[in-house]
Structure 1
């Protein structure tokens, strides 16, 4: 019998009314703001009332560097959440919302896979509860107010050559990366260079995901630097009086979304900064809410541990006072083979040598996670083509790294397939071995922080940055921003800035192309190599195969 596709499984799900899911976390139905029958926002009043409750245990799921073979990080996050509930723990899952850009570009969806999914799948991959639209609107309201201020006499003396606030849309559109705005004569304002980023790279997205409540949200929005005067002094969003209206637009989006897994366990899906160009974690407010309501919270951080986990541990946990007690690193036998030099078309036949050759990528991630003082366990996300000898090769290798690799079959078997992993996670958490600490202290100079990440996490020899970039970092330090953490924007496919270098390379350098100050979010974005903050669509976008079938069901989301 052919295995059903993800969307067929999701469609056949036996969903409970969202009020029943809320009841599992003791959320009264009057504190759920329903969107249809199967999703709801949790009211901010209810969240405030939980503040004095103790926190549950936080578990992070991360992975090796992604390969075209697919690793299944979200699938494992969901499988582990279901498995923890199965062994009698009160567990909730926290993941990010999907962006329309990759949905219609490369990916086609992002809600887990097989029998370890979060539903409703179609809505989650499309407009969901409208959070991203709210973020896009709030961001572009600020853009409009900047140009409007310049048009009506420019009382703040904005230097139109130094407007740093770009526009955003939640779509991959390379044609908008660099544009000229306000053409067409006097009525349209003063022509200037501008550009678009994708919504998930917006500082407003980062702020929404790091803010603790509406007051904090408004303060952070007000602290966004939008432009500079001729004397290089900054102009903030609050100077334009944009922060109040932006907060109003974002008030509903600030409330976390509650949905469910296929096994009817609670899942919070909220916020969605990309991990290669932003900080790659779901919202602080969703994670903190889940920690107040569940004994175990399983969350994920985007892409490989060199990006998502590093930012989760150095930015999100540092800023929100969170301390994870276990880290799960997801790997697949297929991905090990690819890291060992096997082409995607040749992944079928057994190749133990290639598996062994590819393992150092996994080893590097295990080593890196240990630097944060949190114990790691490896989840081998099982594929039917994996052979016993290949699995044993990964397990033997992981043993030499002082960790354990557990085979997980949640894709095929749901929570039951990840029971061994759940038990191991509980064992790690209950051992109390975690001593979480960020990689670098707040007071370290900005450039040294960049070097620390490049050397300790990417195992690079040096960071290449011209004088202009170093001077810019020093200016920000003088202006009082030296304590901020670093958010590296680089390719997810490699420890280096070259997407084609797999494995665990050493002896490379990290070229820094640009630095951006996200004063409201509270970090410095460091753009490395060729990474783009507005992606383009591939030659054959997923959008070409997304449509309604004759039964009126959506096809092409995966």
Structure 2
């Protein structure tokens, strides 16, 4: 079979105006970026607000492994399949970050015959949203330094400045740096560092804002540091908000593209789920619910990260409630959770599969604890045997959960029609009764403990006195009602990436906390997770190049 990029390049794309017509948008309602992608205009989005909402479907997965799960691919296949069976469906996804594209994970446009296009554009630069977010974030950084340099009011102390810089690339050497060297003309020397753009509070704010007014209000509330008297200094205090809004004017508008089967897809925003809240924008999701009977969206990494944050942060802030959840798994990944090495996954091992199924069961139990009905989607590989498939189906039957075998990678929407019908039935049964994991009035530490104990099955959370004091100070300052955004490894329920399966009784070490006052949550950084990833020993960038025809090769 051809590679993903070859399949995408050969796609029979429709003009973006034709795709826009599928969601009721006229040519004047879109801002084209070439022939095959566009932004939806603010006026068009505003006109949708009076329409009733469709049904919301969340796609999540087991803990990821190098064996692959295919959550985005399944989301695309499901949306295509639902449209095939006559269910008017719109797909909402996140934008890929350049870091993983040139690093280890690759792009985020699906695979095989379940892709969104134009694949190269979406993975590389797209409509410039990430660049705008990076620029807005770093503009605030420059204004902070300039405020300190000129002694502006309020007096922001260099040693109490908490606002860092960002770039959309994996670069471990920039995690911690000293800036302002070279004399007084270059600013005050200070310890600072870079995070990846997807971890930027500006990214989170853009993805959680409901409209331009809300976006501006959230940007104004960003806390960049403190005075000597420990009074918070905000972006509004240093008069940065207006210029940041100017940079984000177009970035806040959702992007419209299409699947290989010419179904519409909104792609907007891209926070990681292991270090940020892992969901596409509220603006895109809310608009999609007005334009279709069903909306398929995904949350990053496993359900212990992306889905938990989707439900506890995004749904809480935006007033959303899913009607069904699709939990994606592969037999290969489950066997890896059961102890098999990657080079052994083609072997039949019912023992490893049985052990690995504990990871699947844990996620099912967690998702049901939110009051949501679940269907398991098995992204089938050609190496899966009938015996292994039967064992997995029998296991799901014991848990009273529907399971659908999917072959969308090889067959497109046709290969996910069984899943589509299962999802529609689950929604029509009307059993969803969504409730978040914890109430607003718990303390911040209690909220962190609730996630660690209920979702991760940890025995306890350990935190230094300084961390606990910060949480207490933020509660005293009026931020105790905020939800928490857990930053931890995606590979395990624990903070140890090597601890696969369904570990219990482990300890969650809370290393650092950050207040994202504008985004409206507190980031709890656990274990050894980094907010600026590094590149692997053999980064994907080594194999990406232009061929003799000027086409990109090696992108996946």
The TM-score with structure 1 as length reference comes to 0.99
Matches within 5 A, 1:68-217: 68-217=66-215
Identify the match of residue 334 of structure 2 among 330, 333, 336: 336
Q: Which residue of 1 aligns with 2:46?
A: 48
1:270 to 262, 268, 271: 268
Contact in 2 for aligned 1:458/1:495 (Cα 8 Å): yes
Question: Which residue does 2:239 correspond to in 1?
Answer: 241
> Which residue of structure 1 lines up, in the alignment, with residue 547 of structure 2?
549
CA distance in 2, matches of 1:95, 1:389: 34
Determine the structure 1 residue equivalent to 2:221. 223
The answer on whether the counterparts of 1:367 and 1:401 sit within 8 Å (CA) in structure 2 is: no
Using the TM superposition, give the Cα deviation of residue 320 of structure 1 relative to its aligned residue in structure 2, in angstroms. Answer: 0.3
Task: Measure the CA separation in 1 of the matches of 2:159 and 2:48.
Answer: 47
What does residue 408 of structure 1 align with?
A: 406
1:509 to 502, 507, 510: 507
By how many angstroms is 1:146 displaced?
Answer: 0.5
- Unaligned stretches of 5+ residues in structure 2: none
Aligned equivalents of 1:170 and 1:16: distance in 2? 30
Q: Per-residue deviation at 1:550?
A: 2.1
Q: Distance in 1 between matches of 2:551 and 2:370?
A: 46
For 1:412 and 1:343, the matched residues in 2 are separated by 25
Q: Give SS of 1:239's match.
A: coil
Equivalent runs, 1:355-394 vs 2, <5 Å: 355-394=353-392
Aligned-pair Cα RMSD in Å: 0.7
Cα distance, 1:355 vs. partner?
1.0
Matches within 5 A, 1:377-456: 377-456=375-454
How many angstroms apart in 2 are the aligned matches of 1:294 and 1:18? 18
Between the two proteins, the alignment pairs up a number of residues equal to 556
Q: Which stretch of structure 1 is more off in the superposition, 205-214 or 545-554? A: 545-554
In 2, Cα distance between equivalents of 1:246 and 1:73: 33
Q: Hey, what's the Cα distance between the residues in 2 that align with 1:134 and 1:401?
A: 46
2:376 partner SS: strand
Q: 2: CA distance between counterparts of 1:502 and 1:194?
A: 34
Match of residue 352, structure 1, among 350, 373, 376? 350
Name the structure 2 match of 1:258.
256
CA contact (8 A) 1:208 1:254 kept: yes
Displacement after TM superposition at 1:350 (Å)? 1.8
- SS of the counterpart of 1:175? helix
For 1:206-228, what per-residue CA distance to the aligned partner results, in whole angstroms no more than 9, with x for missing partners?
00000011111010000000001
Alpha-carbon contact 2:221-2:236 (below 8 Å) kept = yes
Equivalents in 2 of 1:154, 1:284: separation in Å? 35
In structure 1, how many angstroms separate the alpha carbons of the residues matched to 2:174 and 2:364?
Answer: 39
Report the TM-score, using the length of structure 2 for normalisation. Answer: 0.99
Residues in 2 aligned to 1:67 and 1:188: alpha-carbon distance in whole angstroms: 45
| SS at structure 1 position matched to 2:237 | helix
Q: CA separation in 2, counterparts of 1:429 and 1:120?
A: 32
Shift of 1:357: 1.4
Which of 51, 55, 70 is equivalent to 1:57?
Answer: 55
Give, in whole Å, the separation in 2 of the partners of 1:48 and 1:283.
16
Is contact 2:402–2:422 with CA below 8 Å preserved after alignment? no
Partner of 1:319: 317
CA drift at 1:108? 2.4
Is contact 2:148–2:157 with CA below 8 Å preserved after alignment?
no
Aligned-partner SS, 2:169? coil
Correspondent of 1:488 among 474, 486, 489? 486
User: Retained in 2: the 8 A contact 1:108–1:556?
Assistant: no
Q: Deviations over 1:88-115 (max 9, x none)?
A: 0110110100000111011221100110
Q: CA deviation at 1:401?
A: 1.7
Report what 1:280 is aligned to: 278
Deviations 1:355-381 (A, max 9, x none): 111100000000000011010000000
1:302 corresponds, among 277, 300, 303, to 300
The DSSP-based 3-state class of the residue aligned with 1:297 is strand
**For the residues of structure 1 that align with 2:140 and 2:537, how far apart are their CA atoms?**
33
